[in-house]
């Protein structure tokens, strides 16, 4: 037993040491920094008060004068717009392509957006919404609607990034829903058809309820991505123009590496960590309830 214990320690200790150095210590240090000032003195919740009273995080006046609304509000808009689109499109495409000839090829093409580096995705979004080169303005010109560089204007920059990122993330939900559809017994559909159920009733009463565990995973993973979205915004707009597309992760970067205010940056990081932790715990609870 002692020799086995030595072998176990031999394999576990290196991984544990790396976990402590690269995960546990940075998390603990970030949490500590959020309660200190630049001189290393304990200031309690002062950094949190500063970030939540800052117009960079919440700009209530933006609701009357237009964007920006603050990084936190922008993240919430990502969730409100991007999340339902990703879930609905993913489920719809998975159902529509299930029995279509060449459906696997189409799903593979859709999934390309997911495997593409998000930095490349940010560059492509800029091109998609460009005034002269973008496909969006190309389509609008067919209907004689004048276009513009959508990511360059405060009132459209954020939504351009949100809608442009839908195709980057939809492949994830399509693949999960497609896998979930394969687990539903065909007997359920055959029995419903024999009873005269319409396609819509079959979809709402059989497909949607039985795919609930998949939906929970899709919603949770999408929420986590929306809360920590950074690379697309950084590459496409740098949070501009005038902070109109700023998000929490980018604001954390700005505090740390532009303003060199590591304490406020740490406070934003803690808020992001707690938000993602809450989403993760809700996923675990939902999965546990499903299994029960």
Instruction: Compute the radius of gyration of the chain from its Cα atoms.
Output: 23
Looking at residue 195, its pLDDT comes to 84
Locate the domains of the chain by residue range.
70-291
CATH 1.10.3720.10 correct for 70-291? yes
Contact between 181 and 95 (Cβ < 8 Å) = yes
DSSP, collapsed to helix, strand or coil, labels residue 42 as strand
Q: What pLDDT score was predicted for residue 1?
A: 58
3-state secondary structure of 242: coil
Burial of 253 (0-12, 13-18, 19+ CB in 10 A): middle
pLDDT for 291: 63
> Structure pTM?
0.88
Write down the residue that tokens 């950094």 correspond to: 47
pLDDT in single tens digits along all 292 residues of the chain: 566 777 777 788 888 899 999 989 999 999 999 999 988 899 989 999 999 999 899 988 877 777 889 999 999 999 999 999 999 999 999 998 888 887 888 888 888 888 888 888 889 998 899 888 888 888 888 888 878 889 999 989 999 999 999 888 888 899 999 999 988 888 888 888 888 888 899 889 989 999 988 998 899 889 989 998 999 999 999 998 889 999 999 999 999 999 999 999 999 999 998 988 888 888 777 767 766 6
Calculate the dihedral angle through the C-alpha atoms of 218, 247, 277, 208, rounding to the nearest 10 degrees.
-20
């Amino acid at each position: 037993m002692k020799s086995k214990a030595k072998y176990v320690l031999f394999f576990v200790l290196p991984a544990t040491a790396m976990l402590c150095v690269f995960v546990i210590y940075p998390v603990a240090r970030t949490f500590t920094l959020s309660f200190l000032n630049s001189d290393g003195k304990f200031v309690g919740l002062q950094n949190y008060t500063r970030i939540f009273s800052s117009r960079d995080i919440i700009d209530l006046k933006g609701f009357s004068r237009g964007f920006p609304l603050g990084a936190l509000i922008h993240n919430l808009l990502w969730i409100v717009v991007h999340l339902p689109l990703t879930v609905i499109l993913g489920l719809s495409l998975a159902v529509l392509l299930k029995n279509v000839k060449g459906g696997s090829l189409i799903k593979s093409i859709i999934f390309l957006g997911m495997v593409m580096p998000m930095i490349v995705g940010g560059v492509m979004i800029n091109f998609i919404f460009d005034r002269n080169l973008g496909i969006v303005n190309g389509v609008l010109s067919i209907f004689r609607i004048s276009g513009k560089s959508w990511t360059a204007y405060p009132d459209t920059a954020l939504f351009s990034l949100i809608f442009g990122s839908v195709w980057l993330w939809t492949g994830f939900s399509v693949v999960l829903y497609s896998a979930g559809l394969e687990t539903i017994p065909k007997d359920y559909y055959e029995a419903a058809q024999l009873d005269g159920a319409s396609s819509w009733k079959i979809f709402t009463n059989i497909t949607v309820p039985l795919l609930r565990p998949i939906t929970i995973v899709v919603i949770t993973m999408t929420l986590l991505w929306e809360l920590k979205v950074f690379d697309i915004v950084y590459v496409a707009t740098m949070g501009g123009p005038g902070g109109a597309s700023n998000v929490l992760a980018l604001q954390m970067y700005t505090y740390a590496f532009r303003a060199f205010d590591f304490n406020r940056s740490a406070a934003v990081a803690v808020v992001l960590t707690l938000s993602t932790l809450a989403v993760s715990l809700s996923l675990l609870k939902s999965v546990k309830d499903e299994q029960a």
